[in-house]
Structure 1
């Protein structure tokens, strides 16, 4: 697994990334950074942890609002594993800041 150093809201993180997944990961990092920076710049929330939670909720809501393509039975079975892996990656990225779940 490859490691990438990224910056979100001025703080560096080292993230694990599967080969070939760099573009998708960097796009996700950009989305998170934009969302967190927008919340911070609005000036109503100061704590980094609260900003992260609000950004995560905003991004999850936007994702939930997308139309869902039909899923085959075989891909549905592997879907939960992908979510579990993503949660582990996010927990690793947060490190000392705390875990989401």
Structure 2
């Protein structure tokens, strides 16, 4: 296992990295660093450990939302517009429009 040195919020860390995983680990470090710096720069939280916990929660929440969106069933396709090809459908829609505009009767 390879070790790489990274910086998170200005502090150096030596991390173990599986073979072939350096790019993915560096990308994860960038996300964590960005999340922690954003919280720190907002100025409301000063303690490094609290910043780390809040950043972790934000990242976990984002991941859960992405997973939920990915596993959600696809939206149903819109019904095809048959009014242009089906004169009976066009006639029915016209009657419905008249009923809604008038006294509520279709005929």
Q: Which structure 1 residue ranges, 5 or more long, are not aligned? A: 71-101
Quote the RMSD (CA, aligned, Å): 1.3
Structure number with higher helix proportion: 1
- Runs in 1 of length 4+ with deviation above 4 angstroms? none
Q: Which structure 2 residue ranges, 5 or more long, are not aligned? A: 72-107
Instruction: Give the length in aligned residue pairs.
Output: 70
- TM normalised by structure 2 equals 0.63
For 1:67 and 1:8, locate their aligned partners in 2 and report how far apart those are by CA, in whole Å: 26
- TM normalised by structure 1 equals 0.66
> Alpha-carbon deviations, 1:64-93, whole Å to 9, x = none?
0013567xxxxxxxxxxxxxxxxxxxxxxx
Higher RCO (CA-CA < 8 Å; seq separation 6+): 1
Q: Which has the larger radius of gyration?
A: 2
